[in-house]
Amino acid sequence: MSRQTDRYFSGIPMKSYDLLKEGLIMMMVIAAIIVVLAIIFGSPDYTPVRSQDVAARQPVAYLKTCAKALAGQSGIEGYGPPYTPDTDNAQDLFGVVPSELFGVTIPIHPAEDFVIAPLRRLAILDEKVDSALNEYLLAPPPQQKEWAAAYLGALDKAAFADRQVNIPAGEYGPVPALMDGMLALGKAGLLEGALESGPSLPYTMNFTKSLLFFQDDVDHGVARSLDMLGEQWGISHETGPYPGAWWLWPYTFLYQIPPMSVSPNGDLQAAAIMMVVFLIMLLVPFIPVLNRIPRWIGVHRIIWRDWYQRMQSKI
C-alpha cells in the first residue's frame, strides 16, 4: 500500500482474508448442491403453452382468442403503452404516468397482427382462405366487426365433436372460413412462426406477439391451475411442487394487501415501495439513527471476536 493509504488505515484493525479462496470454495459447494438437487428433483419447467396444443385440445378457447382479436375485444386493445396509444388504463402514481414517457414502442393491432397477417400467409396456399379474406377486407369496418362479434357470441354455444367445432347457424359472413384457417395454422404448429414473421427473419429475437396471443383467457387459465396468479403469490411460485423465488416474497406480499391488492395502479405502487425500500437500504450509512443500528446490534463484535479478546487482555 502507499504511504497515504498506510496513514489512512493507521490504527484500524486488520485481519487476513483470502477472498479468492473463500469465493472458490462457496462456488464449489453451491455447484455441488445444485447438481444433487437437479438429479433428485429434475426440471420443474412446465410445458410451454403452444398454439398447436391449444388448437388440438381446446379448439373453442383457441377460436375465441382469434375471434376476440378480430372483433376488437382483445385485452391488448386498451392496454396502452408500449403496445397501443390508449392511455385510459395506464397506471399512474400521484398523477405521473411513466408509460407515457416512452409511448408506443411496440405497436400492436390485434386484428391485423394476430389474425389478418397470419391468414395472408396461409391464403397463398389455400384458395378458400384467400377468397374469404378478400371478402372480409373489402367489407366496411362496421360489417367486419358485426360478423366477428356474431361468430364470437356463437362460440359460447359451440359443440366439439369428431375433431370439429360446430357452431349454430347465423350471419357470420366469411368469418367461419377465416377461423378455420386460423385453427389449421394452430394445429399445424405454424401460428407462432406466422405471428413473428417479418424482415428480421430468420434472426428474429422478438417473440412479443406470440407471447401475447393467448394472454387473455388461455394463459390466465393455465396460470390459475398452477397457482401462479398475482392473488396466488404467483410471481414467487415455481411450476409444480418445487420451491419458488423466495427472494421475491416481499414484493409479492405487497399484492396481497390494500391498496395494491385492489388498486388498478397496484403494479406501479408495489414497484415504487420496493424502490424506496431499496434506496433506504442503500443509504443506511448516511441516514441518522439507522446508521447506528449495526453498532447497537453488535454483530461486528462476533466477527472480530478474536481481536476484541486480544484488546481486552491488554487492558
Segment 54-105, tens digit of pLDDT: 999 999 999 999 999 999 999 998 888 999 988 888 888 888 888 888 889 9
- Of 265, 244, 245, 241, residue with least CA distance to 255: 265
| Percent of all residues in the chain with a pLDDT value above 90, rounded to a whole number | 51
Segment 130-156, tens digit of pLDDT: 999 999 999 999 999 999 999 999 999
Whether pTM exceeds 0.95? no
Chain centroid, CA 84 distance in Å: 18
Helix (H) or strand (E) holding 164: strand 164-166
Classify residue 213 by burial, with Cβ atoms within 10 Å: 0-12, 13-18, 19+.
buried
Q: Which amino acid is at 167?
A: I
- Of 81, 48, 44, 43, residue with least CA distance to 219: 48
Cis before 241 (ω within 30): no
Segment 173-212, tens digit of pLDDT: 999 999 999 999 999 999 998 998 766 666 778 889 999 9
- Of 211, 186, 212, 207, residue with least CA distance to 196: 207
CA dihedral 109, 115, 118, 121 (to 10 degrees): -110
Residue with cell 385440445: 57
Residue with cell 406501479: 268
Domain boundary assignment for the chain: 3-42+285-314, 51-218, 226-282
Chain centroid, CA 287 distance in Å: 36
> DSSP class of residue 108?
-
The pLDDT confidence band at residue 227, using thresholds 50, 70 and 90, is confident
**Phi, psi (degrees; rounded to nearest 5) at 271:** -65, -40
